[in-house]
Amino acid sequence: MAEKKHESSGFTVTDRRLFTSDGDPRMESSEAVEEPKPAPSEPTASVAKTDTSPIDAGDGTALRDMPLPPTAAEQDAQAAAYRQSSKEVDSKVELSGRSSKEFEVNFERFMASLYMTAMLQLGLMHEQGGQPRIDIIGARQTIDTLSLLGEKTKGNLTPAEEGFLQNSLYELRMAYVEVTNALARPPQAGQATGTAGR
């Protein structure tokens, strides 16, 4: 007996096993059992969209499942809230005696931050009192990010921005080659044991 109804408790027990106790396929298991669907609810502004349609990467492949982007109204509301919060932070900065203009991000400052990040990753700069740490993969990714920015912004940069970007890329690529060559060289005799000069 595949189904039993208990009148006293008001629920139904259904045997969904694919095989009988003798190992034979059950005929009832091939019937599709429809799962109860949750009642639709009204979406709220604070609930993120969960449509996970794959996004085409442009080369015929699908990127990982991503939620739909926010609507124009949601973007406008968020941008207004962001501007309001920024004004409040700016007023606190001004009260401390500093100008909020010092903290504004422009394209040159953004490129400069990537340049500094790459120099830190190459171990050519370090925090005061700290030891240099080399992250070759991270440095390469940061340099490639600057290169990608150069490609994507071609024709849209001022001469000063273009010059800064090209100089930064040149210096970072040269430094990358020097660091990777130094890491690839075998240690000199005596350096590994620390006995050089004795």
Higher pLDDT, 57 or 26: 26
Average pLDDT over residues 24-49: 53
The pLDDT value recorded for residue 192 is 52
What is the domain count for the chain? 2
Radius of gyration of the chain (CA): 31
Residues 82 and 151 in one domain: no
Residue 163 in domain: yes
Residues 175 and 119 in one domain: yes
Of the listed ranges 22-26, 66-70, 95-99, 190-194, the one predicted with least confidence: 190-194
Higher pLDDT, 65 or 127: 127
Residue 124 in domain: yes
For residue 163, CA distances in Å to 115, 150, 166, 168 come to 14, 11, 5, 8
Instruction: Say how many C-beta atoms besides its own lie within 10 A of residue 110's C-beta.
Output: 13
Residue 55 in domain: no
Which of 102, 122, 157 is at the close of a domain?
102
- The average confidence (pLDDT) of the chain is 78
pLDDT exceeds cutoff 50 at 48: no
Residues 97 and 142 in one domain: no
pTM to 2 decimals? Answer: 0.55
Residues 96 and 110 in one domain: no
Higher pLDDT, 165 or 196: 165
Instruction: Say how many C-beta atoms besides its own lie within 10 A of residue 180's C-beta.
Output: 14
Residues 124 and 180 in one domain: yes
Residue 6 in domain: no
Express as a percent the part of the chain with pLDDT over 90. 40
In tens, the pLDDT along 126-175 reads 888 888 889 999 999 999 999 999 999 999 999 999 999 999 999 999 99
- List the domain range (segments joined by +) for residue 90: 73-102
Residue 28 in domain: no
- Phi/psi of residue 11, each to 5°? -130, 160
pLDDT exceeds cutoff 90 at 75: yes
